[in-house]
Amino acid sequence: MRIRIAHETTYSYAVPARSVIQTLRLTPRNYDGQHVSNWRIDVDQDCRLDAHEDAFGNITHTFSCTGPVQTLTVRVDGLVETSDTAGVVRGAIERFPPGLYLRGTDLTTADGDIRAYAEARHHPADRLSTLHALLDDLARDITFDKDPTHSATTAAEAFALKRGVCQDFAHIFIAAARHLNIPARYVGGYFLHDDGTVDQEAGHAWAEAHVEGLGWVGFDPANGLCPTEQHIRIACGLDYLNAAPIRGSRHGGEGEFLTVKVMVDQASRQVQVQ
Amino acid sequence: MAGAAPIFDEMNLADGAVRPAYETLARWLKTIPTDLLATRSREAEALFRRIGITFAVYGDAASTERLIPFDVIPRVLTNDEWVRLSKGLTQRTRAINAFLGDVYSKREILRAGLVPEDLVYRNPAFRPEMNQQPVPHGIYVMIAGIDIVRVDADTFYVLEDNARTPSGVSYMLENREVMIRLFPELFSQHRVAPVENYTDDLLATMKSVAPRSASSDPTCVLLTPGLFNSAYYEHTFLADKLGVELVEGRDLFVKADVVYMRTTEGPKRVDVIYRRLDDDFLDPLVFRPDSALGVPGIMSAYHAGNVTLANAVGTGVADDKAVYSYMPEIVKFYLGEEPILKNVPTWRCREADELKYVLDNLPELVVKEVHGSGGYGMLIGPKATAAEIELFRHKLAKDPSNFIAQPTLALSTCPTLVEEGVAPRHVDLRPFVLTGRDKVRIVPGGLTRVALKEGSLVVNSSQGGGTKDTWVLDS
């Protein structure tokens, strides 16, 4: 499937910022389930994008610009060819052995409630069944709701609310899996909706867990399914903070206002022929 | 203390004889009246107050800053003792650097099964962000503080490695200055190896590890978390002695992967940062997003090889108390040498049989949290109440891998001025090991810390310990 992505993030400041610096994780890499045909990032300021590969194998771009900055737009346009791998992630850049992904983080610490929830779904001899039980039940038990949580909400906080966005679903899944000694990680990316909805308010996030014999397998608890050819994988890490599309800092720039426009659409055959 | 070994005093042998290193000092102590020593002691305190050397104790609301007690009787080491110590310190620091280079790249020691993988990967001080990222000249720990204790004439143990931001060197330097002012006659009677070249050594070390892209005269700065840090005085002191700018995060910025300092003449490129700011706070784009103390983008400049951080990021994984117990294996693995300095025998509570031994012998052991520091969160079995021992039994059962245990060591004592006169008190030693691209530099001696309470083994300044001047006698 050919998928076109356009992702525009605009910051505007009531008081112009004196300087802005950001690190972007907005560039996908190839793996068996996806091939990046075309990808570009534009920042509408006078700056240089310095590319690095981070410790998890994600591509980052860091830029800084000197103000006064009234508005700042980061725009991503790309075309990705995907195929369904039943959620199995092969051919991706792996910089760590799975054991690293048992490491706890502040955002993915399992509290007593998450531990009990995980233990109740534990099939000790069958890791895949355990993970599918977590996937199915979290999709049922947690309500998608973008109001009560924010980017710094922990797994435990979201689990107590039984509400959250895809990031919260992923953090809870990761916390539960790690508690059962299953390596698990966070993945940020995009998702093409089935229902023809093209315009979205944000990117997508899910989890991957390590299963002997299969390797890394994706689990998307917000949608209650394993990733398909509708998922575009951008960055991974221990939690959201390692894979966040944009992390930034600024001097001045009080009264920041953020708008995000994400468009994920199936590329037309005509585009393909061109 | 049942069955405890006799305590080794560094001046007086059990038979009443004076050890050779202390002969002159012992004669002097006999002639000087105790009230004159007490007067000198008050003068020393007045000098320290005037200099402004203070130490903030966390969680002590009553006095946010106070003076660390200074003992006017120096501790003396012979040149022979020092030569052996400094060889051992150099060896240990080389091994620590090799270990860090390995766990952040090929991970051979984990593959070899010598150090358990989870001890590294799940260690809070391990920084995955440093994985496969080269550091300038491959040096991670430029400034190490290795805590040494002594139990007899020949045996020195490493109690703890400090590979993050070890503090205390300002006390080593100030103690010597004050001693020279108060007791010039003692210095004319002894050939004491100087320590005041420490800051020159530190600056040479910093310049030697500048990125290859830096000029022949690299710009170094000292990055402090600011006024509210317990060691802020030391930061100002060192920056002043080094002749480098003392900066806070907001004084630096990153542009196009280069770090600059704001100056009145415009931005100035920075090559080497002696940072006394913890990893967590260094860069809000990589670590804690709420940190206002760091420099946004500094990790990107660091990974690009355009700035040196001293010490490197993620060095804490080497000084963790659980990793400590593997240090003899680490020395052998990387250097192919036997460790010159011994570890204190250590039981790893993560291992079931060792845990059982620890639980069976709690009243005799010292139990420490793997990630604790400053003498907090530890159990000293022989001094503990039954209730405290039960509390630790519970803690150990709940989370054994968070603890190690060691025997209660009979730390050596040195003559110390206390209210009742001159009496033996337990001491340790923190030498500072500087690793540059060209060589390892260690000024003779280090900071001696002394437990001022009779019988106390806790020398930490946050727990009522004091300090002494430390002499290495030139032979």
pLDDT mean by block of 10 residues, chain A; 274 residues: 96 96 98 96 94 95 94 97 96 96 97 98 96 98 95 97 97 98 98 91 96 97 97 98 97 94 83 41
pLDDT over 70 for what percent of chain B?
A: 94
**Nearest C-alpha in B relative to A19:** B253
A22, B117: Cβ pair inside 8 Å?
no
Task: Note the pLDDT of residue A270.
Answer: 45
B121, A103: Cβ pair inside 8 Å?
yes
Interface list for chain B against chain A, based on CB atoms closer than 8 Å = 117-118, 121-122, 126, 128-133, 253-257, 284-286, 289, 296-297, 300, 303-304
**A48 contacts in chain B (CB < 8 Å):** 256
Q: Is the ipTM of this complex over 0.95?
A: no
Regarding predicted confidence, which is higher, B52 or B231?
Answer: B231
A241, B256: Cβ pair inside 8 Å?
no
A50, B300: Cβ pair inside 8 Å?
yes
**B286 contacts in chain A (CB < 8 Å):** 23, 247
B285, A99: Cβ pair inside 8 Å?
no
CA dihedral B124, B130, B131, B135 (to 10 degrees): -140
**A248 contacts in chain B (CB < 8 Å):** 285, 296
Return the amino acid letter for B44.
Answer: A
The C-alpha atoms of residue B315 and residue B311 are separated, in whole angstroms, by 7
The C-alpha atoms of residue B46 and residue B424 are separated, in whole angstroms, by 25
Please count the residue pairs, one from chain A and one from chain B, whose beta carbons lie less than 8 angstroms apart.
72
Give the tokens for residue B442.
Answer: 């260690």
The C-alpha atoms of residue A169 and residue A186 are separated, in whole angstroms, by 10
The C-alpha atoms of residue A238 and residue B128 are separated, in whole angstroms, by 9
Q: Select from A21, A99, A242 the Cβ nearest to the Cβ of B296.
A: A21
A99, B129: Cβ pair inside 8 Å?
no
Q: Select from B118, B130, B289 the Cβ nearest to the Cβ of A102.
A: B118
Tell me the shortest Cα–Cα distance from B301 to chain A, in angstroms: 10
**Nearest C-alpha in A relative to B103:** A96
**Nearest C-alpha in A relative to B133:** A55
Q: Select from B128, B256, B285 the Cβ nearest to the Cβ of A238.
A: B128
Task: Note the pLDDT of residue B374.
Answer: 56
**Best residue in B104, B282, B285 to probe A by mutation, most A CBs within 10 Å?**
B285
The C-alpha atoms of residue B293 and residue B249 are separated, in whole angstroms, by 5
B285, A103: Cβ pair inside 8 Å?
no
| Weakest mean pLDDT among A203-207, A249-253, B230-234, B342-346 | B230-234
Binned at pLDDT 50, 70 and 90, residue B376 comes out as low
The C-alpha atoms of residue B278 and residue B81 are separated, in whole angstroms, by 34
A247, B285: Cβ pair inside 8 Å?
yes
Task: Please state the rounded mean pLDDT for residues B229-255.
Answer: 95
Greatest CA separation found in chain B? Answer: 69
Tell me the shortest Cα–Cα distance from A266 to chain B, in angstroms: 33
Mean pLDDT of chain B: 92
The C-alpha atoms of residue A209 and residue B72 are separated, in whole angstroms, by 61
Q: Select from A64, A100, A247 the Cβ nearest to the Cβ of B289.
A: A247
**Nearest C-alpha in A relative to B297:** A21
A100, B132: Cβ pair inside 8 Å?
no
Q: Select from B128, B289, B297 the Cβ nearest to the Cβ of A62.
A: B297
Residue A38, Cβ density class (10 Å: 0-12 exposed, 13-18 middle, ≥19 buried): exposed
Task: Note the pLDDT of residue B62.
Answer: 46
A100, B121: Cβ pair inside 8 Å?
yes
**Best residue in A19, A58, A62 to probe B by mutation, most B CBs within 10 Å?**
A62
Binned at pLDDT 50, 70 and 90, residue B156 comes out as very high
Taking each helix axis as running N to C, give the angle between helix B198-208 and helix B169-182, from 0 to 180 degrees, rounded to the nearest 10: 150
Task: Please state the rounded mean pLDDT for residues B80-109.
Answer: 98
Task: Note the pLDDT of residue A67.
Answer: 82
The C-alpha atoms of residue B127 and residue B68 are separated, in whole angstroms, by 33
Task: Note the pLDDT of residue B178.
Answer: 94
Regarding predicted confidence, which is higher, A148 or B48?
Answer: A148
B130, A55: Cβ pair inside 8 Å?
yes
Task: Please state the rounded mean pLDDT for residues B452-472.
Answer: 85
Query: Is the whole model's pTM more than 0.90, yes or no?
Result: yes
Task: Note the pLDDT of residue B370.
Answer: 83
Q: Select from A55, A99, A248 the Cβ nearest to the Cβ of B121.
A: A99
The C-alpha atoms of residue B66 and residue B45 are separated, in whole angstroms, by 11
**A152 contacts in chain B (CB < 8 Å):** 289
Task: Please state the rounded mean pLDDT for residues B114-137.
Answer: 94
Is the pLDDT at B54 greater than 70? The verdict is no
**A55 contacts in chain B (CB < 8 Å):** 128-133
Task: Note the pLDDT of residue B52.
Answer: 65
Task: Note the pLDDT of residue B388.
Answer: 93
Task: Note the pLDDT of residue B53.
Answer: 61
**Nearest C-alpha in B relative to A181:** B118
DSSP H or E stretch at residue B281: helix B279-282
